[in-house]
Structure 1
Amino acid sequence: MLLTIVIIVILIGVYVLFMKVYPVFGRRPSEGDIRRFSQSPQYAQNKFENPVPAMMNMSFRTTLGILRDMIKGSPNRRPKSPLPMERPQFNVNGDTSVTWFGHSASLLIIDGKALLLDPMFGRTPSPFPWIGKNRYSGGIPFEIAELPQIDAVILSHDHYDHLDYGSIMKIKHKVKRFFVPLGVGAHLIRWGVPAAKIEEHDWWEEISFEGLDLACTPANHFSGRSTNDRGATLWCSWVIKGESSSIFFSGDSGYTPHFKQIGDKYGPFDLTLMECGQYDERWADIHLMPEETVQAHLDVKGKVMMPIHWGAFTLAIHDWNDPVARAAKASETKGVKMVTPPIGQTIIIKGSDVQSYPKTNWWVQA
């Protein structure tokens, strides 16, 4: 009995030490941070919460069903061959442009400023990136060293498929500023990003940055990078407005009235980057179903929609191209203009003239 207790204590000690030493997990907010967060309307009972409770049906029976579905799998949960990629254009002058790198990672060039959105460039979204299957494209369509000087990295939350330790370590030296929701700055500071480069924001806070107007806006989701830090940091969407263009980046979210509130306050948007993928009816409160993606685009008063959060990793049970296929069908039904550039293709934002955007259903043949 005594030996068993000793072994359990040792295992717990090793686990606690590993959680503290392994940098990928990031860092929990300090006591001073927590006192600061207590002023946020989103913070209650020592954690951030959604105003619309995010109900996830995770009963024992449901969990068994999810495990069964994941083990059973589907031949189309991953593409049969690596997805096609194109070489991006890193020209920071001239027209507003956007380049999608798969999942939610994008480079936005607006008013001559280069903004990286949720730059996850790693092989797999995991605290142990050497485990698991590689991204669908096999990699990214450029060398990170080729990136231009980045004026700002904009993060939506701290999940591994959006905030990647390896990617931040490779780009941090060429980033002027990091804009993040409350609490996420602690991760970056642990990874060597100077605190002076980091701005943390709550929902509805507005920021002026080198001629751009940014706003940290709501999302219905959650956060966490380890076993005991759920809700320790905030999650959000972002409004990005320049002289020539207006962009909405949804982050991860379930469908709630916050999209209409954002549209009423900040719309219309020339382009929306809308979450579309990794969904399931069992967790529909924290991820948009494809038809909801289209409706959320309409709610924020978007002109052209680009679906994101798909095309890189298998994090749900649906077919890999089901998100874009369903979104395309819903867009046609509702008269929404949708663009689906291949990974790496740089597109110029040209208002609502969707005919001027390159558009191929490359995901049908992939």
Structure 2
Amino acid sequence: MKSFGKKPDGLRLERMKASLLWAGEAFRNIHPVLPGLRDLGTARPTLSEFLCGGNRRVPRGPLPSLNPSEAWSKAPGTGLRATWLGHSTVLIEIDGVRVLTDPVWGPRASPSRLAGPKRFQPVPVALRALPPIDLVLVSHDHYDHLDYPTIRELARHDVPFVTSLGVGAHLEAWGVPAQRITELDWWESRTLPNAELTVTAAPSQHFSGRGLKDRNSTLWSSLVIRSPRHSVFFSGDTGLTTEYAAIRERLGPFDLVMLEVGAFHPSWGDIHLGPANALEALALLGGGAFLPVHWGTFALAMHAWDEPAETLLSLGPQKGAQLLMPRLGEPVEPAHGHALTPWWRAVDTPERGEVLPEPAAMTMPKSMPWPAD
């Protein structure tokens, strides 16, 4: 199946093996398990619980969204603007350069078009309707971040990619020319030609793999985007790690911080943040306007679809966080701030005690990566 991608080999594999993060046969985290960052007393969910358990895992209908095309036709007045397009896909406009993170337009976070977690929220703008993109960032190779049909479409355009070590093998297999791919180890940087923009791969605490036999065969990273005037942090997927303090010291401060908040579970605390740990990560990074990502698109855990947003709305002000929680497709400039309103409540307000039906299409092939240390 082409959507599985390709395993790294040849010179690419040799470069991967030279990384300090390579441990014999695969990459490793600096901190495989951080005591106290997850509930060790909570059992990991079974596959059956993952597929069928949990109430309100999807909203009753589509979430409010905007078509940002008209807004994109005008440059941001402050030089920095972000448009959340769903899950971890964000269009960042930074001093005249357009950067697209973890682009996913496909219908499922799965290698199959027939099975696996199905998108419950459409992207607010078609892929072909995007303005010209100057750079695509891919944090790691999981299906909800590296999407085969989306990459196949982007491969037709003359846009460069920056990603983590080894992930370029998938991109090449799907039609992206090798000369348009830059793969980074942690703390390595790439400066975009003809633009004053630098991307640096930084630590995260996660894992990788698209099948049963390629666990951690490619690297996972957070990514920092810097121009002379602005700096943006994008977490990719991660658990809470003390490396965030090192990122602040070496690459901060940040005007905009994008952290994953959805698809979490108490037993996954070392590989996913969730909203509470995202606020802790924000503090380690030194603050900055906080745009939560990795929610509102796929049901990838047992919690209610809106739990990340509700928890942030409750805890964020207590922590002094500058929350940016726009509707999908609503461009925001961090310097201007954003009115914090619970827009997501409009679509899903069940009566107390009411149990909503689960989606019928939450089957998952055995080849899907399963969260673990």
TM over 0.5: yes
The aligned runs of 1:1-366 (5 Å cut-off) are 22-54=1-33, 62=43, 65-67=45-47, 69-70=49-50, 73-88=53-68, 89-91=71-73, 93-94=75-76, 95-132=79-116, 134-137=118-121, 139-209=122-192, 210-350=195-335, 354=337, 357-366=338-347
Retained in 2: the 8 A contact 1:347–1:358? no
Larger proportion of helix: 1
For 1:99 and 1:224, the matched residues in 2 are separated by 28
The aligned amino acid for 1:167 is: T
Q: Aligned to 1:337, what secondary structure does the other structure show?
A: coil
1:96 CA displacement: 1.7
For 1:197 and 1:92, the matched residues in 2 are separated by 28
Q: Deviations over 1:257-294 (max 9, x none)?
A: 01111011111111101110111111111001311101
Retained in 1: the 8 A contact 2:92–2:99? yes
* Bigger Rg, which one: 1
The aligned amino acid for 1:118 is: D
Retained in 2: the 8 A contact 1:101–1:343? yes
Q: Aligned to 2:288, what secondary structure does the other structure show?
A: strand
For 1:175 and 1:346, the matched residues in 2 are separated by 25
For 1:292 and 1:364, the matched residues in 2 are separated by 23
Retained in 1: the 8 A contact 2:99–2:136? yes
Gaps of 5+ in 1: 1-21
Going from structure 1 to structure 2, the CA distance change for 1:303 and 1:133 (only over 3 Å counts) comes to closer
Q: Deviations over 1:17-46 (max 9, x none)?
A: xxxxx2100000014322221210100111
For 2:62 and 2:215, the matched residues in 1 are separated by 34
1:111 CA displacement: 1.2
Q: Deviations over 1:243-266 (max 9, x none)?
A: 332110011001010111101111
For 2:97 and 2:341, the matched residues in 1 are separated by 28
Going from structure 1 to structure 2, the CA distance change for 1:175 and 1:292 (only over 3 Å counts) comes to farther
Retained in 2: the 8 A contact 1:152–1:175? no
For 1:190 and 1:232, the matched residues in 2 are separated by 16
Q: Aligned to 2:62, what secondary structure does the other structure show?
A: coil
For 1:145 and 1:105, the matched residues in 2 are separated by 15
For 2:117 and 2:213, the matched residues in 1 are separated by 26
The aligned amino acid for 1:250 is: S
More divergent stretch after superposition (160-169 vs 244-253): 244-253
Retained in 1: the 8 A contact 2:257–2:289? yes
Q: TM-score, normalised by structure 1?
A: 0.87
Identity %: 37
Q: TM-score, normalised by structure 2?
A: 0.86
1:358 CA displacement: 4.0
Going from structure 1 to structure 2, the CA distance change for 1:70 and 1:201 (only over 3 Å counts) comes to closer
Retained in 2: the 8 A contact 1:54–1:220? no
Q: Deviations over 1:162-208 (max 9, x none)?
A: 00000111122224210000000000100111000000000011222
Retained in 1: the 8 A contact 2:162–2:183? yes
For 1:167 and 1:280, the matched residues in 2 are separated by 28
Going from structure 1 to structure 2, the CA distance change for 1:122 and 1:259 (only over 3 Å counts) comes to same
Q: Aligned to 1:174, what secondary structure does the other structure show?
A: coil
